[in-house]
Structure 1
Amino acid sequence: MNCDLIIPGEVIDWTIGEYVQDANTLGIRRALLNVGHFNLEEPGMRYMAQWLPKVLACDLPIHFVQSGNSFGWLSFKKAEEGKRL
């Protein structure tokens, strides 16, 4: 693989993350920008809450409820002088 950054729509294969970690450990600069499945769907769901009442032509209240980010992690690499970045 000859790329600096992977931006997948969704990571269903755990080996991609492992590849990026292994590459960085070996000094090969690679990055993974994983937006996440639910975060990619959020703008469409926000639009759906506005669109659906018009299509159904009813007075039923429909609201978009933001779920927030379901992922959160950080990766730290030791600097040459032994300090954490």
Structure 2
Amino acid sequence: GEKWANVADNNRFRHLIELAPRGRIYSADGLELAASIPTYVVALADEQNKDRQEQTITKLAEFLQIEPEEIRAKLKKHRRKF
């Protein structure tokens, strides 16, 4: 019951922070050739339960500080059928 619901939620939501700054690379004459720019990737597994999917979208939108509709639009655009 509740125990397995908690286990499932812990499998669905994971906060992972990895810091790996590489530093800047300069040419011999001091011209910056490369810089570290942080990037982030968010992936959502397809959810059969639409209520649960909406809960996930709402939480993710809050975390990312964007509107839920923006997430829905990106999901629709990038959805792959297997």
TM-score (norm 2): 0.31
Q: Relative contact order (alpha carbons < 8 A, sep ≥ 6): 1 or 2 greater?
A: 1
Greater share of helix: 2
Max Rg structure: 1
TM-score (norm 1): 0.31
